[in-house]
Structure 1
Amino acid sequence: MGPDDITAARLSEIMGGEVGAIESTRIGDGLVGLNLRVRLLDAAPELPASVVIKLPSIDETSRATGIALRNYEREVKFYLQVADTVDIRVPECHLGEWDESTGDFVLVLEDMAPAEQGDQVIGCSVERAEVAVEELALLHAPRWDDPALHDIDWLGRRTSTEDVAAVAALWAMFHGPFLETYARHLSTEQIDLSKMFGPRILDWMSGREGPLAITHGDYRLDNLLFATPAGGPPVTAVDWQTPGHGPPVADLAYFLGAGLLPDQRAVSERSLLDRYAVALAARSVDVDSSWLWTQYCRESFGGVVMAVVASQIVGESARSESMFAAMATRHLQHALDTGALDLI
């Protein structure tokens, strides 16, 4: 299904009721996928007023990336096979299909409006961060150290020798081109840290320890929808293209490392980690505070890797450079502030 295939007749089949006229508008930047809000203008009263439809990116580079990295496959399978086994708030899925032969997909999802998308470039308040970290615990706790996750073969993993080597190769390939574009946004200390981290990336990845859980893989402000005065759940997580079976603290470090501005993060991160731990404990998952802090500091490099690699493999947009610049500067500063290199 492409944008031209979204018709009232097809949506009537999907939604199980007469849709009538429709109106589509693009929402978000969607670097790897295309997101459309489709208003059901003359729908039967039992149907929603609108839905969100996710499709492959219309940018060929981004589309090829989404297929090669199995982003499209994983997002559909997350909604169909995993979403009901965790407690984090996600949109209801009306339809999920993935074509193995072409790699294309379609998702028809609940429209969370009037909730509003966070902004990765601007950052967020500590109050919003509190809501987000508590919601993150609802993703991790239900499948915390669940051995059955080893049987879900499509979940992303960064634990095998092959995966570790692949990430190290991507870093080696893209770090130079990344600096050509983004060095002007970085301090000398941040550039130096990125260069010192490169030779240590294998040790960083292979040295991870502790329990594993379902992870989002890209838990950041652009992928979170927050309640507004007009309504909506407190926070809803979207863009499930990188679900994984990995260290849960990686999601936490990734969100706080770039979601808050560095000064805010530095004064608030310990209390936010405590809030996350309390939310886990409420669901019978107890974590040692010193272990949590060490893993959080160590995982600050996850956002650095994402900024370097992702900035080089997705199509450019009007906003992409400012977004990746914000991510790179904040994640590198996070690693500097926490002394993360010394923990490898």
Structure 2
Amino acid sequence: MLIEDKGLLGGTMACSFPASPDAVNAAWLTEVLQSRKVLSNAEAIAKVEVCPVGAGFGQTGDSVRLKLEYANRDAAHHAPASLFAKFATTDATRRAASKTIGLYQREINFYNVLVKSVRVRAPMCHFADISTDGEFFALILEDFPDHRAGDETVGLKLHEAELAVDLMAQLHGPYWGKMKQVDLAPLQMPPRAKFEAAWQEMENRFGDYVPDSVRRAREAYLDAIGPLQEWLFAQPATLGHGDLRLDNLLFGPDERDPIVAVDWQAVRPSKGIRDFSYLVSHSMDVEARRAHEAGLIRRYTEQISQFGIPYSVAEATEDYRRAMLFDFCTVIYIVGININTHERAVRRKNALMKRSITAMLDWDVFELLPEFR
């Protein structure tokens, strides 16, 4: 069925799928699962219950759990009891920003193309499509009702970090040094003026975390964002998750399925260590990071070596520092552009500021700025 809806959720679209959770129905989902051979042509979904997930602090999309009831007893025994679905956000401003930098298209491409060449544990995809204007999308994914979602406000634990390091190596290894063969552009960066305003907003809202030494580096840092990004996707680049933080990891109840990475909207060409740095320096509490980051870097290099990639601990450590310096622009963006007053979002941002600033000072990363003039 073709939906043409002028003004739906504040936009204009033409697509052949439900563009919001309220538009999902049993007949359409039955077609989806039948096309994937999850259901036979004689089996059908009788009822769909839509349950919001993460309401109140989502940034770029609306996520729901779809609880399913089947018309056939046999289907109820072998088909999934629930699915996870993602759609474009109802916030027109955030939706337009997500479209501009291609977040929705990247995630659709990941599930339709890129995931097929890696062994990384990501949700099984039953449906992935995007509107012709790139503003609306629908993803129907495997659900993990028995997995525990990571929580950045609590902080990354060592055993979680070890699982995440092993997972990211499975993503990075197959694409290491081969990104010229992949039709995937670097993530588009906002202009310098946007970061200038965001930096000021960061100081206004979270200035207690910003020491004078960081404030003094402001102009040099803003000038360095472009060269830092060029370093980030220079060869040997690989396929980076792009938003591999604790909130985007699910942890299983046992070792049969211990970890799953979700939210692939920011997938990009990148130095592999950037995913590592982003996760460890932003999601791990200060004392835990100080105690374990050296061992985790070693673990990452050992995992990457299994793909025949020579990447020493010394190289990884220096790249860790540079990636940490680059990702200060991500911190600025999160706290200075994505304004969100939801209580959990504010707690997350306070933790992010403390962890990231402390890590950068521990590693004296601002002394690297002359390399990126």
- The alignment's TM-score, normalised by the length of structure 1, stands at 0.90
State the partner residue of 1:95: 127
> 2:26–2:48: 8 Å Cα contact kept in structure 1?
yes
> 1:193–1:332: 8 Å Cα contact kept in structure 2?
no
How far apart are residue 152 of structure 1 and its match?
3.6
Rg larger for:
2
> 1:217–1:242: 8 Å Cα contact kept in structure 2?
yes
Pick which of 67-76 and 42-51 moved more: 42-51
2:264 to 231, 237, 240: 240
Say if 1:40 and 1:182 are closer, same or farther in 2 by CA, change over 3 A: same
How far apart are residue 306 of structure 1 and its match?
1.0
Q: Relative contact order: is structure 1 or structure 2 higher (C-alpha 8 Å, sep ≥ 6)?
A: 1
Say if 1:333 and 1:167 are closer, same or farther in 2 by CA, change over 3 A: farther
State the partner residue of 1:36: 64
How far apart are residue 323 of structure 1 and its match?
1.6
> 1:56–1:104: 8 Å Cα contact kept in structure 2?
yes
State the partner residue of 1:83: 115
Matches within 5 A, 1:166-177: 166=190, 168-177=192-201
CA distance in structure 2 between the partners assigned to 1:167 and 1:140 by the alignment: 29
Alignment of 1:11 with 2:29, yes or no, is yes
CA distance in structure 1 between the partners assigned to 2:197 and 2:68 by the alignment: 46
> 2:246–2:283: 8 Å Cα contact kept in structure 1?
yes
CA deviations over 1:267-322 (Å, ceiling 9, x no partner) = 21110001111111122222022111100011112332112113344362332222
Alignment: residue pair count: 335
2:207 to 178, 183, 196: 183
Moved over 6 A (4+): none
State the partner residue of 1:20: 46
**1:309 counterpart letter in structure 2:** Y
Alignment of 1:125 with 2:157, yes or no, is yes
State the partner residue of 1:225: 250
State the partner residue of 1:321: 346
**2:26 counterpart letter in structure 1:** A
1:157 to 143, 165, 186: 186
CA distance in structure 2 between the partners assigned to 1:132 and 1:305 by the alignment: 23
> 1:61–1:314: 8 Å Cα contact kept in structure 2?
no
> 2:171–2:240: 8 Å Cα contact kept in structure 1?
yes
Alignment of 1:134 with 2:166, yes or no, is yes
**1:35 counterpart letter in structure 2:** S
Pick which of 119-128 and 181-190 moved more: 181-190
Say if 1:93 and 1:329 are closer, same or farther in 2 by CA, change over 3 A: same
CA deviations over 1:130-177 (Å, ceiling 9, x no partner) = 11111110110011101xx33544x3416xxxx57x454432232112
CA deviations over 1:5-51 (Å, ceiling 9, x no partner) = 11111111111141111211111243111110001123623321100
How far apart are residue 194 of structure 1 and its match?
5.3
State the identity as a percent.
26
State the partner residue of 2:324: 300
Structure 2 unaligned spans of 5+:
1-18
> 1:257–1:303: 8 Å Cα contact kept in structure 2?
no
Say if 1:315 and 1:188 are closer, same or farther in 2 by CA, change over 3 A: closer
- Secondary structure at the residue paired with 1:228? coil
Structure 1 unaligned spans of 5+:
none
Matches within 5 A, 1:229-308: 233-308=257-332
2:98 to 62, 66, 69: 66
2:240 to 209, 215, 231: 215
CA distance in structure 2 between the partners assigned to 1:288 and 1:97 by the alignment: 40
- Secondary structure at the residue paired with 1:211? coil
- The alignment's TM-score, normalised by the length of structure 2, stands at 0.83
**1:80 counterpart letter in structure 2:** N
2:141 to 109, 132, 139: 109
**1:56 counterpart letter in structure 2:** A
**1:275 counterpart letter in structure 2:** R
CA distance in structure 1 between the partners assigned to 2:209 and 2:360 by the alignment: 16
**2:92 counterpart letter in structure 1:** E
How far apart are residue 192 of structure 1 and its match?
4.8
